Amino acid sequence: MTTGAVVIGIGQTDYTRRSGRSEAHLAFEAILAAARDADIAVEDLDGIISHPFSISPEEIVSGLGLPGLRFSCTVHMGGAGAVASLQHAVNAVESGVASNVLIVRARNGASGGRINQRPSQQPAQHFRDQLERPYGWNTPAQRYSMICRRYQHEFGLTREQLGAVAVSASRHAQLNPGAQTYGRPVTMETYLSGRTIADPYTRFDCCLETDGACAIVVTRDDRPSPRRVDARIVAVGEGRPPSPDDLTNRPDLLRIGLEPAAELAWERAGVGPDDMDAVMVYDCFTFEVIHQLEAAGFVAPGDGGRFCASGGIDLGGRLPVNTHGGLLADGHLSGLSHVIEAVRQLRGEGGARQVPGARLVGVTGWGDLGDGALAVLDAMDRVA
């Protein structure tokens, strides 16, 4: 079973720590690049799915001179929104409500102020203000490190297992000239020497902060394409953990929205985790790769650390993860860059980091207090 929608265009800017441009400028660069890649006129973009607290459809309409916007929405699931947005794009094009749906992410995440300075996007801000911020607990690293420690307590986890995730991402980024850390590899020695941010998370457990933008265009699979193989959206699932507005009172801190999301996606797709040739995992922190590989059924509970440390997630391994370097080493574009990498792999545009014969690729999303999403994409051969 598959949807009838493909990712027809992808585009991105460079990923740096100081773009020197506004978020709108970055967004427009990525959008124009995606339209060129799709071989469509910019004017033909008629649907926009925006990120909350970022550039709005109105600004894109005005800024690019789009005459015919007919569909728009926002998905409020933090970093899971990019993957969850794919379902809305599918719905729009399959129903005929729109023909060319744009999904965009743009942020000066490095130069525009560090994470604790940005307004928080999480749900239930009053709980954060009343019960959390007064105690100096106010960043993702501080929150999620507590989940990591519970996992450590229940299953065991070593520094080297976490480090293996960071090193794998870095190794992949060295094959990706567009990656923010291209040319600056992180070895296990580097990883182990990183200073503590919020124990157990150290510097190289944490994802990058990035200035940059990326964009994709989704259309129906029976529309003209400039290429012989396109990445098709097979299925999408979204989900929330118990107590999704409050991590602290969740009965089991290890339960995440990716579990129900993955169940839905696998069921809709008619394939399972073992069928994937690669997976792009929302790697906000090293441990979250281990956590999500288990939650989505790629490895058994408790086996994630060993799997990562054994080389299973490396190019050439059983299940290459984040062949672009991910949030840890490529750039933080809120998970949309992970969709783009999946598309590149399926098109055969992976260059030095191509997974040979990639026909099925998964993409996870993680956001806010554990919301999740999973998309399955496949390679669709165009009839000449």
Partner 1 sequence: MSRPLPDVDDPEFAPFWSGTSAGELRLVFCARCDEVRWPPRPVCPRCRSFELEWRAVDPRGHLHTWTVVEHQTTADMPPPYVVGLVQIADHPTVRLIGQIDAGAASLVIDLPLTTRFDQVDERVTLVNWVPSEVRS
Residues that bind partner 1 (CB under 8 A): 115-116, 126-127, 129-139, 141-142, 145-147, 149-150, 153, 195-201, 246, 248-249, 251, 253
- Partners of 237 in beta bridges: 374
Which residue, 82 or 198, has its beta carbon nearer to partner 1? 198
We find the least distance from the C-beta atom of residue 249 to partner 1, in angstroms, to be: 5
We find the least distance from the C-beta atom of residue 153 to partner 1, in angstroms, to be: 5
Q: In what order do the strands lie in the sheet with 101-108?
A: 71-74, 47-50, 101-108, 211-220, 5-12, 229-239, 371-381, 360-367, 278-280
Which residue, 109 or 200, has its beta carbon nearer to partner 1? 200
We find the least distance from the C-beta atom of residue 195 to partner 1, in angstroms, to be: 7
Which of 200, 133, 198 has the alpha carbon at shortest distance from 162?
Answer: 200
Which residue, 199 or 267, has its beta carbon nearer to partner 1? 199
Which residue, 178 or 194, has its beta carbon nearer to partner 1? 194
Please say whether the beta carbons of 243 and 225 come within 8 A: no
Which residue, 11 or 109, has its beta carbon nearer to partner 1? 109
We find the least distance from the C-beta atom of residue 267 to partner 1, in angstroms, to be: 27
CA distance 241 to 256: 5
CA distance 315 to 163: 16
We find the least distance from the C-beta atom of residue 45 to partner 1, in angstroms, to be: 38
Residue 231 CB-half CA count within 13 A: 30
- Give one word for 195, left, alpha or beta, with left for phi > 0 and alpha for psi -120 to 50: beta
We find the least distance from the C-beta atom of residue 155 to partner 1, in angstroms, to be: 13
Which of 220, 136, 208 has the alpha carbon at shortest distance from 178?
Answer: 208
CA distance 248 to 316: 39
Which residue, 65 or 251, has its beta carbon nearer to partner 1? 251
